[in-house]
Structure 1
Amino acid sequence: MTDAPVHPPIIVGAGPAGVRAAETLVAAGLRPLVIDEAARWGGQIYRQPPEGFQRPKRALYGFEAGKADALHRAMADILPAVDYRPRSLVWNVENSALDVARDGRSETVPFSHLILAPGATDRVLPFPGWTTPGVFTLGGSQVALKFQGCAVGSRVLFLGTGPLLYLVAYQYAKAGATVAGVLDTSGFADQARAVPGMLRDPATFAKGVYYVGWLRAHGVPVHSGVRPVRIEGADRVEALVWRRNGREQRTACDAVAFGLGLRPETQLADLAGCRFRFDAMDRAWVPERSAAGRTSVAGVYVAGDSAGIAGADAAEMAGERAALALLEDLGRPVDSTRAALLEQNLAASARFRRALTDAFPFPTDWAAAVPDDTPVCRCEEVSAGTLRKAARDGEAAEINRLKALTRVGMGRCQGRMCGAAAAEILSQALGTGPDAVGRLRGQPPVKPLPFSAGILDKEAAP
């Protein structure tokens, strides 16, 4: 017997995972509701420029132009068969319903089956001067280039670690921007040891080698084993002082693009009531899920980087697999061979992801080196020293207790930008790992809302 869904299945996010999930549900005869913050589908990795933008896809996406075009076309082909709502923010999940804000107003949308695929965001850790105008995340600088067709500065320095560091630097250089340098916090020895594991995916490995080689061949300084010391400049970035092998150096620039890998967006899964586990590879708490994408909450599935960082190719497979799981739970027939193949390929992708983690390790020494007067939470102006004092005084041994005492994570970003840094500093001060201090509990709204959205009316309702 086939169950008919009480409400249309909902997909949050129209990136690689969300698009493939929608495509799978449409092929099975369902009409899903697809909700996405962006103006056009594609996600961060395949973000589309505004209508009428003239740069060709090869210039925007490089080697991935074919994949980007295929994903864009896939969604375009099924648009008549989906309820697609762009420029819409899901800001809460409660009682099997989503609160969705669009055009300054909010509505409640009930669901019986929900696929969460909101993607990931940059992980940043503070250092002196990181709040100076002209410091951007790697993802933010990539959005500026892809969506707005502009660089974040006239002379941009790239800092951090992970494949995105080299990709965005390459994209900027290819677009004609002046790249002042690429400073990688990971060491050459880390990357060399990880080569055998990265060769599990030779095509992806070759692209990474090409990006580094191309940058060097075009005169871009590339350094590994770097630690930032401070940003110089008051009204705008003027330079970055950095240290390598015990020696300080200074690179003049008017913008810094910074990121230490990616962090899954998990607030909606938290508000939905999903159980979480600590993922040592992502150094983050992620929803518990089966190989098919099922969470601990019946009818709620996770897919893509919001369930654990794995990249665009894996996100496409995970989106399709989660949709197949949804169909299975509705009693619809599915291709079990296809489902098994997707799980097999996702497992192989996870092995490659482990190799990338080895190549670009998280700088575990960072938290101890952050000066006490460095702001960690920009919204509430909470410093690293304030966090350490709460730990030393025995007042806080858990991140939510630290939040209550210091207001870290209580600002506009709800801890999305500062939460990971606060957990690292707290755990370092306590002499534990970040898994031991817990995770910030999700609070609605997950992102800032205008008063016109009616959140106050919702809170006052009986």
Structure 2
Amino acid sequence: MTRVLIVGAGPAGMRAAETLAEAGLHPVVVDEAARAGGQIYRRPPEGFTRPAEKLYGSEAAKARRLHALFDRLVAEGRVTHLPERSVLALSGGVAQVLGAVREEIAFDRLILATGATDRLAPVPGWESAGVYTLGAAQIALKAQGVALGRRIVLAGSGPLLTLLATQLRAAGAEVAAVLDTAPMRAQIAAGAAMARARPQTTLRGLRLRAALGRRYHAGVTLERIETADGPVAMHWRDARGRARRTACDMVGLGWHLRADTHLADLAGARFDWSEPFRQWLPRCDALGRAGDGFYVAGDGQRLLGADGAEEAGRAAAIACLQDLGLPHPAPAPVLRRLARMERFAHALARAFPWPAEAVRALPDATVVCRCENISAGLLRETLPLSGAEANRAKSLSRVGMGRCQGRYCQLAGAEIVAASAGRSVAEAGRLRAQPPARPAPIGAWLATGDPGAE
């Protein structure tokens, strides 16, 4: 029997599993979380009493349906779910998986639904304790019902900025300010295209924004995070250039999302620079084919949000069934819905642009790579020897060599390298992924198991 491995149990992975199961296949789904749902529909531990409406807001009914669907497929024995496991490497049709023990899971077909991580732009002082990504703050809220500060400043750009502020306030946290680097004129200019593509989603976002009132500020310039054993205040300038200081004890940062493509790279995907999204994305056909027997779905392929991830999961499963010569749902309706969501995503990228110029102009003392404590100045100093090539700059400066393997510093580092050399980011290139995809203790390789392979 064909062995299909799905990595990720978020909206894309769950829909891919459903589509394959309905066609008579029995996929194996590996996921790092204890319960299926992904980041957007992350589930708290068993016995957690906070209602879904508080966790997921207007998406509560959708989250419940997806959770129930996947749980039913697993309970019926049509899908094997391997939670709390990380895929560390992929080679020769075998996934090296780490959980309580190391497992080797063989597969004939691979669907990567690895989602996305926060896209971060360094701010002077962001290396301090008490400065988190927006995604980390949301995980703490959803998984444990915890706000990571008493007086919170959220800064960056993109829909998650508004959503998280709303979720924290609903949980009773004090959000002192929501600082958006996207100019209001850019948001207004892209608003019509967003409304045409997804009117209800656009209206929902406007309502959430309106509820923030004077806490929300557009077109800001972030100057520095004042710290003393943690954040004390955020220093920033408003759209008119006036200096402001907002006292806080926690800062959350994030500029929309960055596709998590580490495993796609290890699996052999090719990549293209996406100017609209300002990042490298795997090269796939319309259904998500990235190679022979290899498919990418969800935010790990294109940043289309939770609804788009569901459709991309279906699309990848349809491509897999097509390639196996098995009956499959018609792809045309799925592709039409994906096209509409892609139009919305492109408008969203115009509304909330990546602050490239601010990153390129960072002071030399600003830490760019938090894992290795590498400053913008140190990175610039290596360029006469490394040239404007991302991997050579990494080898000499150590930017991207730490625990996150460049997930958080790669894009900012590339902007600095490109600006210093007078080149485009696309010309500077991207950092090559290396195994293991997650930090792994040496002792993990001493014990093996194989519960997912046949």
> What's the TM-score, normalizing by structure 2?
0.96
Tell me what 1:209 maps to: 206
Runs of 4+ in 1 over 4 A off after TM superposition: none
Tell me what 1:177 maps to: 173
Tell me what 1:283 maps to: 278
SS in 2 for 1:53: coil
Distance 1:106 1:141 in 2: 30
SS in 2 for 1:100: strand
Distance 1:453 1:50 in 2: 25
Between 1:46-55 and 1:446-455, the stretch displaced more is 446-455
Amino acid in the other structure paired with 1:92: A
Given the alignment of the two structures, is residue 405 of structure 1 paired with residue 405 of structure 2, yes or no? no
Distance 2:59 2:403 in 1: 34
Tell me what 2:127 maps to: 131
Distance 2:163 2:407 in 1: 23
Tell me what 1:15 maps to: 10
Match of 1:92 among 81, 89, 92: 89
Tell me what 1:72 maps to: 67
Distance 2:165 2:372 in 1: 32
Tell me what 2:335 maps to: 343
Distance 1:361 1:266 in 2: 21
Shift of 1:342: 0.2
Between 1:76-85 and 1:36-45, the stretch displaced more is 76-85
Distance 1:385 1:96 in 2: 43
Tell me what 2:311 maps to: 317
**Deviation per CA, 1:331-367, whole angstroms, max 9, x where unpaired?**
101233xx11101110111011111111111112112
Distance 1:376 1:319 in 2: 34
Tell me what 2:452 maps to: none
Given the alignment of the two structures, is residue 385 of structure 1 paired with residue 385 of structure 2, yes or no? no
Distance 1:369 1:192 in 2: 26
Shift of 1:368: 2.6
Distance 2:394 2:320 in 1: 37
Residues 56-67 of structure 1: pairs in structure 2 closer than 5 A: 56-67=51-62
Tell me what 2:406 maps to: 415
SS in 1 for 2:191: helix
Shift of 1:456: 12
Shift of 1:24: 0.7
Tell me what 2:226 maps to: 232
Structure 2 unaligned regions, length at least 5: 449-454
Shift of 1:308: 1.6
Amino acid in the other structure paired with 1:95: G
Tell me what 1:359 maps to: 351
Cα pair 1:367 1:428 within 8 Å, conserved:
no
Match of 1:196 among 192, 212, 229: 192
Distance 1:291 1:125 in 2: 30
Tell me what 1:442 maps to: 433
Cα pair 2:121 2:355 within 8 Å, conserved:
no
Shift of 1:452: 2.0
Cα pair 2:31 2:86 within 8 Å, conserved:
yes
**Deviation per CA, 1:3-24, whole angstroms, max 9, x where unpaired?**
x52xx20000000000000011
> What's the TM-score, normalizing by structure 1?
0.94
Shift of 1:396: 2.0
Cα pair 1:138 1:257 within 8 Å, conserved:
yes
Tell me what 1:460 maps to: none
Distance 1:211 1:257 in 2: 18
Amino acid in the other structure paired with 2:396: L
Tell me what 2:415 maps to: 424
Cα pair 2:304 2:342 within 8 Å, conserved:
yes
Shift of 1:247: 2.1
Amino acid in the other structure paired with 2:97: V
Given the alignment of the two structures, is residue 108 of structure 1 paired with residue 104 of structure 2, yes or no? yes
**Deviation per CA, 1:195-228, whole angstroms, max 9, x where unpaired?**
1101121100011100111111xxx521111121
Cα pair 2:13 2:313 within 8 Å, conserved:
yes
Distance 2:175 2:305 in 1: 25
Cα pair 1:282 1:308 within 8 Å, conserved:
no
Between 1:9-18 and 1:79-88, the stretch displaced more is 79-88
**Deviation per CA, 1:410-458, whole angstroms, max 9, x where unpaired?**
111111111111111111111222111111000011111122211899x
**Deviation per CA, 1:255-311, whole angstroms, max 9, x where unpaired?**
01110110000010100111111111221111110111101x200000000002110
Distance 2:416 2:394 in 1: 13
Amino acid in the other structure paired with 1:90: V
Distance 2:186 2:403 in 1: 36
SS in 2 for 1:365: helix
% of aligned pairs identical? 49
The 1:269/1:455 distance shift into structure 2, 3 A limit, reads: farther
Shift of 1:400: 0.2
Shift of 1:395: 2.8
Given the alignment of the two structures, is residue 37 of structure 1 paired with residue 29 of structure 2, yes or no? no
**Deviation per CA, 1:314-344, whole angstroms, max 9, x where unpaired?**
10011011101111111101233xx111011
SS in 2 for 1:251: strand
Distance 1:265 1:298 in 2: 20
Structure 1 unaligned regions, length at least 5: 458-462
Cα pair 1:119 1:304 within 8 Å, conserved:
yes
Amino acid in the other structure paired with 1:36: D
Given the alignment of the two structures, is residue 330 of structure 1 paired with residue 296 of structure 2, yes or no? no
Distance 1:299 1:410 in 2: 31
**Deviation per CA, 1:163-193, whole angstroms, max 9, x where unpaired?**
0100000000111110101000001111111
Cα pair 2:276 2:350 within 8 Å, conserved:
no
Given the alignment of the two structures, is residue 152 of structure 1 paired with residue 143 of structure 2, yes or no? no
Match of 1:370 among 355, 362, 366: 362
Tell me what 2:263 maps to: 268
Distance 1:263 1:135 in 2: 19
Shift of 1:390: 2.1
SS in 1 for 2:356: coil
Shift of 1:394: 5.2
What RMSD, in angstroms, separates the aligned Cα atoms of the two structures?
A: 1.4
Shift of 1:111: 1.3
Tell me what 2:451 maps to: none
SS in 1 for 2:168: helix
Distance 1:269 1:311 in 2: 19
Distance 2:129 2:374 in 1: 18
Amino acid in the other structure paired with 1:407: R
